[in-house]
């Protein structure tokens, strides 16, 4: 278990180093996540060396957001005046993002798989 903590926190530390050194506009955690995927893919890290910790973290992902959510307490004044606008815009935009992302994916996927089929047909002729 200690090794698992060491690996995950170590990757995060490398992420911090990269972000600071290159002054990237991306958070260190995203870099760490990409590093973890790459290390697993290239066999530098084995799945069983991290999986106990990562499955615990992923199972409780939402919990780690709670303190940030409680931070709402500092914006209650702004909220009171513009609650309707904030909720309306967030809810509306969330629905739009879900629909647009899903539709575009399905459309492009359909288009590309059809083209691939055509390619195969052409080569057979």
Site for another protein in 56-75 (CB under 8 A): 57-75
Q: Is 39 exposed, middle or buried (0-12, 13-18, 19+ CB in 10 A)?
A: middle
- Choose which of 6, 44, 104, 119 interacts with another protein (CB under 8 A): 104
CB of 125 to another protein, least distance (A): 25
- Kindly provide the b/e burial profile for residues 84-115, where b requires at least 16 CB atoms within 10 angstroms of the residue's own CB: eeeeeeeeeeeeeeeeeeeeeeeeeeeeeeee
Return the residue of 3, 22, 44, 78 that touches another protein, per CB under 8 A. Answer: 78
Q: How far apart are CA 58 and CA 64, in angstroms?
A: 10
Tokens at 90, concatenated: 């967030």
For another protein, the closer of residues 22 and 104 by Cβ is 104
Check residue 90 for interaction with another protein (CB under 8 A).
Answer: yes
Residue 86 is a binding residue for another protein (CB under 8 A)? yes
Measured from the CB of residue 67, what is the shortest distance to another protein in angstroms? 4
CB nearer another protein, residue 1 or residue 61: 61
């Amino acid at each position: 278990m200690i090794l698992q903590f060491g690996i995950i926190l170590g990757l995060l530390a490398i992420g911090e180093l990269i972000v600071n050194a290159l002054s990237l506009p991306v958070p260190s955690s995203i870099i760490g996540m990409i590093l973890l995927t790459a290390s697993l893919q290239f066999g530098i890290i084995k799945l069983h060396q991290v999986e106990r910790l990562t499955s615990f973290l992923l199972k409780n992902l939402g919990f780690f957001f709670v303190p940030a959510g409680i931070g709402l307490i500092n914006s209650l004044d702004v909220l009171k005046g513009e609650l309707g606008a904030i909720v309306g815009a967030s809810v509306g935009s969330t629905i739009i993002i879900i629909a647009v992302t899903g539709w575009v994916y399905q459309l492009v996927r359909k288009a590309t798989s059809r083209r691939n089929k055509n390619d195969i047909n052409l080569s057979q002729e």
